[in-house]
Amino acid sequence: MFQIVRSSPKPLGDQLVDEVGRLIDSGRLTEASRLPSVRDLARRLGVSVYTVTTAFERLQARGLIESRPGSGHYVARRLLSEASPKVELGFPPSTDPALRFARSTLDPQSIAVPAGAGLLPPQWLEDVISPPALSRFWRNGGVGISAPAQGDPALRDLLVERLRRAAIPAASRGVLITFGASHAFDLIARRLLSPGDTVLVDDPGYFVLLTQLKAHRLNLVPVPKVADGSDLGVLEDMARLHRPRMFFTQTLLHNPTGITASASNCHGILSLAERYDFLIAEDHVYTDFGPPHLVSLAQIDELRRVIYVGSFTKVLSPAIRLGFLAASDELVPSLVDQKILSVLSGAALVEFVVREVLASGKYRRHLDRLRNRLAKARAISTGLLQAAGLEVTNPSEGGLFLWAALPAGLDADELAIEAQRAGILLAPGSMFSLTTRGSGRLRFNAAHASDPRLLEFLAERCQVAA
Amino acid sequence: MFQIVRSSPKPLGDQLVDEVGRLIDSGRLTEASRLPSVRDLARRLGVSVYTVTTAFERLQARGLIESRPGSGHYVARRLLSEASPKVELGFPPSTDPALRFARSTLDPQSIAVPAGAGLLPPQWLEDVISPPALSRFWRNGGVGISAPAQGDPALRDLLVERLRRAAIPAASRGVLITFGASHAFDLIARRLLSPGDTVLVDDPGYFVLLTQLKAHRLNLVPVPKVADGSDLGVLEDMARLHRPRMFFTQTLLHNPTGITASASNCHGILSLAERYDFLIAEDHVYTDFGPPHLVSLAQIDELRRVIYVGSFTKVLSPAIRLGFLAASDELVPSLVDQKILSVLSGAALVEFVVREVLASGKYRRHLDRLRNRLAKARAISTGLLQAAGLEVTNPSEGGLFLWAALPAGLDADELAIEAQRAGILLAPGSMFSLTTRGSGRLRFNAAHASDPRLLEFLAERCQVAA
């Protein structure tokens, strides 16, 4: 009883819901019989407590089982004629590869080995957010609080303080809280750009951003990443040729290559932005994974033509989706208006969670632990991936990602499709590039890349190719 | 010491931050001196504990004061040469009246009497969301959970159950979780409509929606609200003339008029939608304020051409910003893609909060209490507004809003500007209309319209006019 197939592409939670439904329908689980406890079942199936809890809640919502406080879960008594409701899954993934990949990474039940995803293991995030602080929020009347459109002023003050420590002269009135970095990029593109405008992008670069910008019908011009940052020769040629409105770039711990631009490269980018008069949207989503006080465009430019985009989704918790942007006085008011037109306002609860973590000093301690853990994971994963037959091209960089090349003859896209069937999520390089710059490559999450199932899968394919 | 001016348009929290800053700068509060306790100061100034807590946190973030656990707040010791950081406020409101109004209603500190706002008093919302449930979320590994792009499946199941109880045959795969109803409308407009398309809107209607649709460069055609719903004659003429793509309408407890369409009127609207082949986006934001099981377009149409847009922001808590839409299998997948392109995904924490409230049965009990309270508040506020000299045109309808006419000769827009100076937020009818249908009218929040400061202000002006 209660069998699930780990290697199936079907999410484990969905399998469990279906399995219990079948057991009830077939009469093997009879009315009012008691189900195993959540923890028991999770251990027995080798899945998380969360997966079982959620499956049980879905079964409850469907009226198939019921919870008796203090006693456990039981098969519900049913009206005679009532058929078992059909189990419905979400829609099949979109046909766009980037959107399909985004959906997979977001669904905790859809993958067994998130080797290509961008999230940290949940254990790495524990103990940062304090439940007592949340209770305090409700006790102090938080339930009635709406977040101001621009975001909680106390949170904005704390962000300003952090930015100033990195020598970025932000002001509270120049900070806008968003539902994550993608939301910030969406607001920027909607408000400051028009369909048909030309923008420069990193190549390779973050796939969701590339898809967002394409959906805005912008004309995307790729700028190659090189060892010390952006290829300044190409950047200048493209700026002269296309007169872009904006450059979307990640100078620190770049996704997917891990490259951190040198101060000199930053200076070069900024000089071109000044000469050819384009704005820069600088993605700082992974900045806090690296050593403090790296030189960035925002720091040199002092937020004159650079828009700083940050996020706590990766480093604090994906359950909160809080990001922000910091920019000049001229740009922010219209972006606040655009936020109202997009979502009206943020969630005061979420803004409070982040505020509490920042104000309590826990965030700094969390980052110290995180960087240590990540450095160790990078070293281990790098060794294991190389032993499996891949070449890791950025072992010495910091951050979350390893950028690895497959042996000649192996196609990364085909490999990713094959891996998905085995419950392993791979991020093929093609997804990150408008050119062929990503082909034959995979992006790995250093925290997830030492999983034996992944390594075995890779070693087998690499040996055949060799 | 610690003086604030209630009638000032400047938010009370900002006043307090400035006042403490001034007292420290002028030396009247000396280094290391103890500040009054939060509760003390809140009582003394007649402001909420939240306002003082937030002001203190902002002062702390600026390094002006410090908190000593168990002892209270003290003026911080400062380095000799360090000047007091300049207190920065958010940007002045946008020039668009609807956006300006939206900003005011969202900022809990900006107004003393939110008579025109759309939110419930915080006390009405207490005890619905349970802090222990939140702690459970973190204990069970919630910190590492990302919400699937379409939204938590268990929450979607619960919403489906609620909709089915209202005889609306939704399916889990046809439900999409959003950051509030405005976010749902934004996704609908972005994905299903193109600039230049013609859409029909209620006149009067919800001002944020009107502004959103205008910003999408849609061609808006007003359809008057009449006693039993929408004016079917005008609706037919406009449908024939303009061949609209969609009708954005609120059939139940309409904002601002309170009108609930009759079943016959719903049938008429739907017949025209079928004949002239347009979709309907039906706003159900206030549905749960009314009696259960009112007939709606979504119910008659069974979600074939009607998109149901709901929200828990109003009825549960503005601190969470959770909404959703339910629609046909054909429409939802592309709306999920659009959500990924807009915000990537929702916040699992927030989705869990709502799931817990729905699953525990607390929501139903909360609604019962809420409806009783609101009915009483409507009766009282109606009497008081009429005594002050206004005519309330929808006293017998349910829901949150009273729609009132001023005596001839009084201009609602001018009155709103004057009121704002006295810390009273009024919602002038013009904001809700593309025509003159709102002029000489104000929308009141029944829960806030019995405030003596409001009534005194109104009575004075109405007497002068009479």
Distance CA A158, CA A179 (A): 17
Q: How confident is the model at residue A2 (pLDDT cuts 50, 70, 90)?
A: confident
Find chain A residues with C-beta within 8 A of B340's C-beta: 99, 102-103, 208
CA angle A188, A194, A196 (to 5 degrees): 130
- Whether residue A67 lies within 8 A of chain B, CB to CB, comes out as no
- The answer to whether the Cβ–Cβ distance between B53 and A320 falls below 8 Å is no
Q: Which of B329, B345, B362 to mutate to test the interface with A (most CBs of A within 10 A)?
A: B345
B172 by Cβ neighbours in 10 Å (0-12 / 13-18 / 19+) ranks as: buried
CB-facing half-sphere around the CA of B454: CA atoms within 13 A? 27
Dihedrals phi, psi of B246, to nearest 5 degrees: -155, 155
Give the per-residue pLDDT at A78: 52
- Among the partner-chain residues B13, B148, B346, the one whose CB lies closest to the CB of A90 is B148
- The answer to whether the Cβ–Cβ distance between A89 and B173 falls below 8 Å is yes
CB B190 within 8 A of CB B216: yes
**Is the pLDDT higher at B24 or at B187?**
B187
Mean pLDDT is lowest, of B9-23, B169-183, B241-255, B310-324, for B9-23
Q: Which residues, including other chains, have CB under 8 Å from residue B305's CB and lie 6 or more apart?
A: B273, B274, B278, B279, B280, B328
Distance CA B220, CA B201 (A): 7
Give the per-residue pLDDT at B108: 62
Question: Model confidence over B432-441: pLDDT tens digits?
Answer: 999 999 999 9
- A58 CA: distance to closest CA in chain B (Å): 5
Q: How confident is the model at residue B62 (pLDDT cuts 50, 70, 90)?
A: low
- Whether residue A149 lies within 8 A of chain B, CB to CB, comes out as yes
- Among the partner-chain residues A53, A91, A150, the one whose CB lies closest to the CB of B173 is A91
CB B12 within 8 A of CB B428: no
- Among the partner-chain residues A106, A319, A342, the one whose CB lies closest to the CB of B186 is A342
Q: How confident is the model at residue A88 (pLDDT cuts 50, 70, 90)?
A: very low
Nearest residue of A to residue B328, measured between CA atoms? A91
Tokens at B200, concatenated:
């029909």
pLDDT over 90 for what percent of chain B? 66
DSSP readout, A380-424? HHHHHHHHTT-EES-TTS-SSEEEEEPPTT--HHHHHHHHHHTTB
- Among the partner-chain residues A50, A89, A341, the one whose CB lies closest to the CB of B186 is A341
Find chain A residues with C-beta within 8 A of B154's C-beta: 54, 57-58, 61
**Is the pLDDT higher at A64 or at A308?**
A308
Distance CA A352, CA B131 (A): 14
Find chain A residues with C-beta within 8 A of B182's C-beta: 341-344
- B433 CA: distance to closest CA in chain A (Å): 18
Give the per-residue pLDDT at A455: 96
As a whole number, mean pLDDT of residues B7-15 equals 79
Rg (CA), chain A: 24
Give the per-residue pLDDT at B92: 46
Give the per-residue pLDDT at A396: 80
A193 by Cβ neighbours in 10 Å (0-12 / 13-18 / 19+) ranks as: buried
- The answer to whether the Cβ–Cβ distance between A148 and B102 falls below 8 Å is no
Which residues in B253-287 are b (16+ Cβ under 10 Å) and which e? bbbbbbbbbeeebbbbbbebbeebebbbbbbbbbb
Distance CA A449, CA B212 (A): 44
Question: Model confidence over A338-377: pLDDT tens digits?
Answer: 999 999 999 999 999 999 999 988 899 999 999 999 999 9
- Single-letter residue type at A418: E
A-facing residues of B in 306-365 (CB < 8 A) are 317-322, 329, 332-333, 336-337, 340-350, 352-353, 355, 359
- Single-letter residue type at A144: G
- The answer to whether the Cβ–Cβ distance between B90 and A173 falls below 8 Å is yes
CA angle A296, A299, A302 (to 5 degrees): 140
- B5 closest CA partner among B420, B422, B415, B419: B422
- The answer to whether the Cβ–Cβ distance between A61 and B347 falls below 8 Å is no
Distance CA B421, CA B111 (A): 10
Mean pLDDT is lowest, of B22-26, B255-259, B323-327, for B22-26
Q: How confident is the model at residue A292 (pLDDT cuts 50, 70, 90)?
A: confident
Interchain CB contacts (distance < 8 Å): A and B: 306
Nearest residue of B to residue A38, measured between CA atoms? B140
C-alpha torsion B111→B116→B118→B120, nearest 10: 70
- Whether residue B195 lies within 8 A of chain A, CB to CB, comes out as no
Q: Which residues, including other chains, have CB under 8 Å from residue A247's CB and lie 6 or more apart?
A: A199, A200, A201, A223, A235, A269, A273, A278, A279, A280, A281
Q: What is the largest CA-CA distance in chain B?
A: 77
Give the per-residue pLDDT at B373: 95
CB A87 within 8 A of CB A21: yes
Distance CA B179, CA B351 (A): 10
Mean pLDDT taken over chain A: 89
- Whether residue B126 lies within 8 A of chain A, CB to CB, comes out as yes
Question: Model confidence over B341-398: pLDDT tens digits?
Answer: 999 999 999 999 999 999 988 899 999 999 999 999 999 999 999 999 999 998 888 8
- B139 CA: distance to closest CA in chain A (Å): 9
As a whole number, mean pLDDT of residues B264-284 equals 98
Tokens at A308, concatenated:
């700083």
Would you call the peptide bond into B256 cis, given omega within 30 degrees of 0 as the criterion? yes
Nearest residue of B to residue A348, measured between CA atoms? B319
- A288 CA: distance to closest CA in chain B (Å): 18
Give the per-residue pLDDT at B78: 52
Give the per-residue pLDDT at A108: 62
- B252 closest CA partner among B220, B225, B283: B283
Q: How confident is the model at residue B453 (pLDDT cuts 50, 70, 90)?
A: very high
B402 by Cβ neighbours in 10 Å (0-12 / 13-18 / 19+) ranks as: buried
Give the per-residue pLDDT at A104: 84
Give the per-residue pLDDT at B140: 79
Give the per-residue pLDDT at A311: 98
Which contiguous run of DSSP H or E holds residue A218?
Answer: none
- B106 closest CA partner among A321, A339, A134: A339
Give the per-residue pLDDT at B397: 82
A-facing residues of B in 271-290 (CB < 8 A) are none
Q: ipTM score of the complex?
A: 0.81
Give the per-residue pLDDT at B89: 37
Question: Model confidence over A201-247: pLDDT tens digits?
Answer: 999 999 999 999 999 999 999 999 999 999 999 999 999 999 999 99
- The answer to whether the Cβ–Cβ distance between A149 and B337 falls below 8 Å is no
Give the per-residue pLDDT at B408: 93
Mean pLDDT is lowest, of A25-34, B198-207, B323-332, B354-363, for A25-34
Q: Which of B15, B99, B146, B350 to mutate to test the interface with A (most CBs of A within 10 A)?
A: B146
Give the per-residue pLDDT at B109: 67
Residue A53 in this model has a pLDDT that exceeds 90: no
